[in-house]
Structure formats: C-alpha cells, structure tokens
Amino acid sequence: MTGRTSIATGILAATAAIATSEGLAAALNLRESPVLALGQTVIKLTPGPIAEKIISVVQHADKPLAVTSVVIAILLLGGLIGAWWQGKRLLAVLGIVVLVALASAAVLGRPHGSAAGVMVCVISGGIVAVVLELLQRDRPDLSPDLARRTFLRTTGLVVLATAIVGGASEVLASRHRRRAAVERVRASLRLPTTRLSAPSGVDLGLKDQGPWLTPNGDFYRIDTALSPPLIDPTTWKLRIHGMVDKELTLTYQDLIDRGLENHWITICCVSNEVGGNLIGNTNWGGVPIKGILEEVGIKDGADALLSTSDDGWTCGTPLAALQDGRDAILALTMNGEPLPIAHGFPVRQVVPGLYGYVSATKWVTEWEVTRFADFQAYWTRNGWSERGPIKTEARIDLPRGDVQAGTVTVAGVAWQQHTGIEGVEVRIDGGDWQKATLAKVPSIDTWVQWSWQWPADKGDHTIEARATNRKGVPQTSAVADVVPNGASGYPAIQVAVT
C-alpha cells in the first residue's frame, strides 16, 4: 500500500469514527455529540482577543468554524494514524488513544457530560482501528489483482456505511426532536403580557435605516453555544444561593405569578465595533430582579451576582446595578412573545446600562450572590474587564453608498443605556460640529435615532458623528479596541458626492 493510500484510509477511518460517534450520540439521546463537545471546548479555550478577532472576521460563522476546525483536526490525525498503522503500530495506537482521551475530556468538561458520552468516544476510537485493520490488512493469499478489488470493495462498503450512519444520525439527532418539542411548548404558551408597539415619535421612519424597534428575527445573537440549550419551561428552575439570608428556587410559574413588567431596553455587545450592529432594541417582559434579591436578603460584603446558564456559561453582574432601581429584569418575553430559543428561552436577564457579557445571561438557571474578589466569569477569564458599563456611542446609518449633490439626510442611532443621550453632532471633513435632531425616546434605557440635513458639495467627504450623554459628557474621540471593555472613537463614513 502506498503512503498516500494509507493516509487516505486513515482519513476514511476517522470519518467513519465521526459518523459512528454522531450515530451513537443520537441513538443514546446525548445532549451533545463528542464533536460538538470538542467544538465547545475549542470555543472555551480560545483566548478572548483571538476569539474577538475571529468573530470580527467571520461574524456569525464563528460556530460552524469551531466545528469545522475540530473535524479537520480529527481527519488530519486520522491521516497520520493511517500512515503509521502498518510500520509504526505503537504510534498509531497512541494516536487513537490521544484522540479518545481528548474527546472524552471534552465530553466530561461539559455541563451535561456523561459516562455514556465517554463510551461513545471509546467505541469510535475502536472504529478507527477496525477500519484500518480491514483496509490495510496484507492479503498474501490473494492475487494482486484480487487483493486490489477486495480493497476497493471494502472501501466502498465502509464509505457507504459511514454515509448511512452519518446521515441517519443527523436526521435522528435528539436535539432536533427536543428542539421541536420545546418549540411546541413555546408556541402554546399564553403569557400575561401585551405586545407593545413602538411609542410615537421614536422612529424617524427613514428608508434604509433600521427600525427603532428591532424585530426578533433581526436581533443580533451572541453566545458560546454551538447548539442552543433546549429547556422545557415546566422543568426550568432558577436556584438562588450564596451570600443570602435564605436560599430560594423559582419556577417559571412562580415568575408568571409575580406579574410581568414590560420595559423598552436596548442591549449591546461589548464586541460591537464602532459603527457595528451588535446592538438591538425591543421591549422585554419580565420580573424585576431587585424584588427577588430583597426577598432572599443580601448578606453584608456581597457585591456581585454570579449567574450561570444551562450550558455552563457564567456572568458576573455588579449587585449595585441590580438594586439601584433601574429596570433590571428576569425576562420571559421579547417583543410580546416568549423569548426565542436563541435569545434565552425560557428565561434570561436584561439589565439596562451594562454590556451583555456582564448582565444578559440567557437560559439562566443559577444565581450565586458573591463577591467579585472570589470568582472570574467566562469572558473575564478570557481577558475582558470585570465590569462592563456601556460607553457613549453614536452610529451613522445613512447615507448608504454614494449620493448626489444637494441636501442629503445623514442619520443614525446613539446610545448609552441608563445614562441617556442628550445630543448628537455631525461634522464634515473635520469641520465644525453641527447639531443633529433627535427623535423621541420612552426612557434613558434605549437608543435614540438622530438625523441631520447635509448641504452636500461634489467631491469625496468624510462624515463623523459624536453623541453627548445626559450628564453632558461627549463620547471620547480616543480610539479603543473592543477588548477589554468596549470600542470607542467617533464613527466615520466616507461618501462620494457626484
């Protein structure tokens, strides 16, 4: 067998092992296959600034990218194992052991990892050996021609079996069934909430500018979940413990019984570049967090709420922001409907004035009242700041593309949730700042749309904007990267006027 053929058989053996592991994971109803668990581990171990660069380049393809890189790594290792199988058996076996060990560690490191998952890894490792033995076995008893045909037939059978098992496992994967079941429950919920329409005057109604009220389907999504947690609200619980006078466990019905408040709140990601669109505004229906904290009683010295999601993501929120009376809520609804699964169904946190990574835990299941000195949350461990108050920012949405000389509408949004925006100014080619007109807002917790009529001359021009908050402080011109606590600097666009 040539070196190239033995590498190819190794890649095929690895493919068969992946198909087997996916098939077993589906048959055993595992929450996650080993490949998914490995992908999650890659996401978790990627250092923050690197993760940030990757997200900024590949945008929402970050999740497929994590899975693809895991699959490619497994196939490469498979190729090596195939090359070693005949001459360096010990190395080849060691390669399989390493693969099984890494996959098992990834499975066990996940919140719902189990012994069954490890068994799937072991069996799949065995498949690599079985396939290599089948395909690379020496057949001195056969004529070269017959040996070749036998090899091709066996290879064909392995490919076929791999395709069938892989295809079936994708169809049968338990997450599809569980997702359908959770979607059915979600659709049947009748929550005591009203669908608010945007208050009058908030939307300038300009063509090509996004609406003030972001539709759920257009709302940005940021999280570390390769496949979102699928939670039945009837079994959902929030366990509250730590530095509290009395522990408390809340059910979905408990929250409904407390009554849902609706609040307009804009949420924003710390990874939003200047001018970026990782920001959205909607009305959230939920239960005030402040009252729940009062009920459990906070012990002296506590300054943080460490929240954990069903998928093991963690978030540290300053208690002060949850107790100072702002509309921090445990949200059940988004724009009048139960939270979409991707946005945290059944329950998530929403806190005006803080970036999502320190406040907006989706699929939340556990609260520990504690001290910042005693823990590090997911993104803090990865290089982001411990606390993430939102910076004053403006974004320019219009004009899009080149325009004709004359009066041109320049427009955008500006925000600093829970401080509010007092004014926005625009300047052309570094000239004087000109006051833009602001639309209305229902509170200081949302973004505000702004516009300015520009008498545009022919030529290439740079448009910049800056917002000033309601404390009278203009946004900084200092350019900062999104790491460690959010981007800053004036948004700018280049326009050719013809």
Ligand X SMILES: Nc1nc2c(c(=O)[nH]1)N[C@H]1C(S)=C(S)[C@@H](COP(=O)(O)O)O[C@H]1N2
Enumerate binding residues for ligand X (CB under 6 A).
219-224, 269, 309, 311, 313, 343, 356-357, 360-363
Which of 357, 352, 218 shows the shortest CA–CA distance to 289?
352
CA distances from 4 to 1, 82, 84, 102 (A): 8, 9, 12, 26
Provide the strand spans (E) within 190-303: 237-242, 248-251, 261-268, 279-288
Q: Are 446 and 478 in contact (CB under 8 A)?
A: no
CA distances from 279 to 261, 266, 415 (A): 22, 7, 10
Closest residue to ligand X using C-beta atoms: 356
Q: Which does 224 bind (CB under 5 to 8 A by kind): ligand X, Mo ion, none?
A: ligand X
Residue 222, interface with Mo ion (CB under 5 A)?
A: yes
Which one, 95 or 229, has the nearer CB to Mo ion? 229
Which one, 88 or 178, has the nearer CB to ligand X? 178
Q: Which does 33 bind (CB under 5 to 8 A by kind): ligand X, Mo ion, none?
A: none
Question: Percent helix, strand and coil across the chain, each rounded to 5?
Answer: 40, 25, 35
CB of 264 to ligand X, least distance (A): 15
Residue 43, interface with Mo ion (CB under 5 A)?
A: no
The rounded distance, in Å, linking the Cα atoms of 425 and 445 is: 20
The rounded distance, in Å, linking the Cα atoms of 388 and 371 is: 16
CB of 130 to Mo ion, least distance (A): 44
Which one, 48 or 79, has the nearer CB to ligand X? 48
CB of 404 to Mo ion, least distance (A): 39
Q: Are 428 and 463 in contact (CB under 8 A)?
A: yes
CA distances from 338 to 179, 264, 268, 331, 346 (A): 15, 16, 20, 9, 7
Q: Which does 375 bind (CB under 5 to 8 A by kind): Mo ion, ligand X, none?
A: none
Which of 191, 420, 209, 187 shows the shortest CA–CA distance to 284?
191
CB of 138 to ligand X, least distance (A): 51
* Region binding Mo ion by CB under 5 A among candidate stretches 105-113, 180-188, 218-226, 455-463: 218-226
Which one, 161 or 222, has the nearer CB to ligand X? 222
CB of 319 to Mo ion, least distance (A): 21
* Structure tokens, 292: 């729940």
Q: How many CB atoms lie within 10 A of CB 116?
A: 13
Which of 22, 21, 9, 19 shows the shortest CA–CA distance to 131?
9
Which one, 308 or 451, has the nearer CB to Mo ion? 308
Q: Which does 88 bind (CB under 5 to 8 A by kind): ligand X, Mo ion, none?
A: none
Residue 268, interface with Mo ion (CB under 5 A)?
A: no
Closest residue to Mo ion using C-beta atoms: 269
Dihedral through CA 305, CA 311, CA 312, CA 317, nearest 10?
-20
Q: Which does 313 bind (CB under 5 to 8 A by kind): Mo ion, ligand X, none?
A: ligand X
Q: Are 174 and 31 in contact (CB under 8 A)?
A: yes
Q: Mark 331-360 with x for binding to Mo ion (rule: CB under 5 A) and - for no binding.
A: -------------------------xx---
Which one, 20 or 308, has the nearer CB to ligand X? 308
Q: Which does 212 bind (CB under 5 to 8 A by kind): ligand X, Mo ion, none?
A: none
CB of 224 to ligand X, least distance (A): 4
Q: Which does 220 bind (CB under 5 to 8 A by kind): Mo ion, ligand X, none?
A: ligand X
The CB-side HSE value for 321 (13 A sphere, CA atoms) comes to: 24
Binding residues with Mo ion: total (CB under 5 A)? 4
Of the residues 51, 66, 83, 269, which one makes contact with Mo ion according to CB under 5 A: 269
Which of 388, 360, 377 shows the shortest CA–CA distance to 266?
360
CB of 291 to ligand X, least distance (A): 22
CB of 197 to ligand X, least distance (A): 21
Q: Are 234 and 185 in contact (CB under 8 A)?
A: yes
CB of 269 to ligand X, least distance (A): 3
Which one, 357 or 454, has the nearer CB to ligand X? 357
Which one, 103 or 269, has the nearer CB to ligand X? 269
Q: Are 19 and 162 in contact (CB under 8 A)?
A: yes
Which one, 269 or 293, has the nearer CB to Mo ion? 269
Q: Which DSSP string do the residues of 100-161 spell out, in sequence order?
A: HHHHHHHHHTSTT--HHHHHHHHHHHHHHHHHHHHHH---TTS-HHHHHHHHHHHHHHHHHH
CB of 191 to ligand X, least distance (A): 18
Q: What does the binding site for Mo ion look like in residue numbers (CB under 5 A)?
A: 222, 269, 356-357
